[in-house]
Amino acid sequence: MTSNIGTVARAMTGFGNSAIGSAFGSWLGKIAGGFLVLLVLTAIFAPWITPFDYAAQNLMNSNAAPGWPHLLGTDQFGRDVLSRVIYGARTSLSVSATAIAISISVGMTLGAAAGYFGGFFERAVMTVVDLTWSFPDILIALIFVATIGPGLTSTTFAIAIAYLAQFTRLTRAQIVRLKRETFIEATINLGAKPRHILQYHLLPNAIAPVIVVGMLAIGDGIVLEATLGFFGLGAQPPTPSWGAMMSSGTAQLFLSPWVIIFPGVVVAVTVVAVNLFGDELIRALNIRDRIRGA
């Protein structure tokens, strides 16, 4: 009996999301997506591919211009810029991705509950969430820095809170729209509990736009992380971070511009790639939705 229910449940498992594959279909998607995959791999395998120790100082060779063996030059402490940029990818990506993951999980939960149950609960949640939206990101970061001190934890929470409202609102809007669909009424009429409706119908149908917005938010998160790092509120020395590197490079802007240029270029290219790939994802999903809706 129970094993039979298991079989039914297995028969009901959904189908894989092929939108990401479809986003790789265009040449723009291939370039942007390829760059991002490369960046993630670089961040993961940083210890094996960096030519130097990112923290090793060599004051005898400070502010060396790009060349051999320091391909991207060295900073004012003689540290290898390339190695620091590679490790910076680790910091930036992990902080941004962790923050957005937190933001999505909390935001989707709140948004789904608000959208499904409605009433006073919905109004309370949305008011609080909108309130977080009305604070500038930097101010939120300052609050965390003031309470738990500067560092990556503060940065992560600051980014998570900065994007919470967006995911909550997006999820709520999706759920409210989906709730009116006939198949939801039909499933309620089968005797389904709210949990079943949410887990097997509302959330799976609401998740696509959340993923796309999450993707784009990771790009914004990287910029925010760099900004906080630049102001000294994020990663603390010697942890390499793109923002902190640029900040320390300002002192020798004319003496050794490569210290500030290379992390800046990487931030810019990453954000552009994230946005391009996000656009490709939206395109892919739109096409699919149109096919489904027809």
Site for other proteins, rule CB under 8 A: 1, 4-5, 7-9, 11-12, 14-15, 181-183, 185-193, 196, 200-201, 204-205, 291-294
Minimum separation from the CB atom of position 290 to other proteins (A):
10
Decide whether 138 or 188 has the Cβ nearer to other proteins.
188
Minimum separation from the CB atom of position 12 to other proteins (A):
5
Decide whether 23 or 202 has the Cβ nearer to other proteins.
202
Decide whether 59 or 291 has the Cβ nearer to other proteins.
291
**Residues 151 and 141 sit within 8 Å (Cβ to Cβ):** no
Minimum separation from the CB atom of position 258 to other proteins (A):
50
Q: What residues does 80 pair with on adjacent strands? A: 74
CA–CA distance, 213 with 282 (Å, rounded to integer): 9
CA–CA distance, 21 with 24 (Å, rounded to integer): 5
Minimum separation from the CB atom of position 285 to other proteins (A):
12
The owner of tokens 């027809």 is 294
CA–CA distance, 5 with 289 (Å, rounded to integer): 31
Nearest CA to 76 out of 265, 254, 266 is that of 254
Minimum separation from the CB atom of position 173 to other proteins (A):
18
Nearest CA to 162 out of 82, 243, 100, 71 is that of 100
Minimum separation from the CB atom of position 104 to other proteins (A):
19
Helix (H, G, I), strand (E, B) or coil at 80: strand
Measured over the CA atoms of residue 200, residue 201, residue 202 and residue 205, the dihedral's sign is positive
Angle of the 242-249 helix axis to the 258-293 helix axis, nearest 10? 150
CA–CA distance, 92 with 95 (Å, rounded to integer): 5
Decide whether 136 or 293 has the Cβ nearer to other proteins.
293
The owner of tokens 């094993």 is 3
Decide whether 5 or 59 has the Cβ nearer to other proteins.
5
**Residues 65 and 80 sit within 8 Å (Cβ to Cβ):** no
Decide whether 177 or 253 has the Cβ nearer to other proteins.
177
CA distances from 140 to 76, 137, 156, 242 (A): 32, 5, 11, 21
Decide whether 6 or 47 has the Cβ nearer to other proteins.
6
CA–CA distance, 266 with 116 (Å, rounded to integer): 42
Minimum separation from the CB atom of position 168 to other proteins (A):
23
CA distances from 166 to 58, 75, 216 (A): 45, 38, 12
Minimum separation from the CB atom of position 5 to other proteins (A):
5
Decide whether 8 or 59 has the Cβ nearer to other proteins.
8
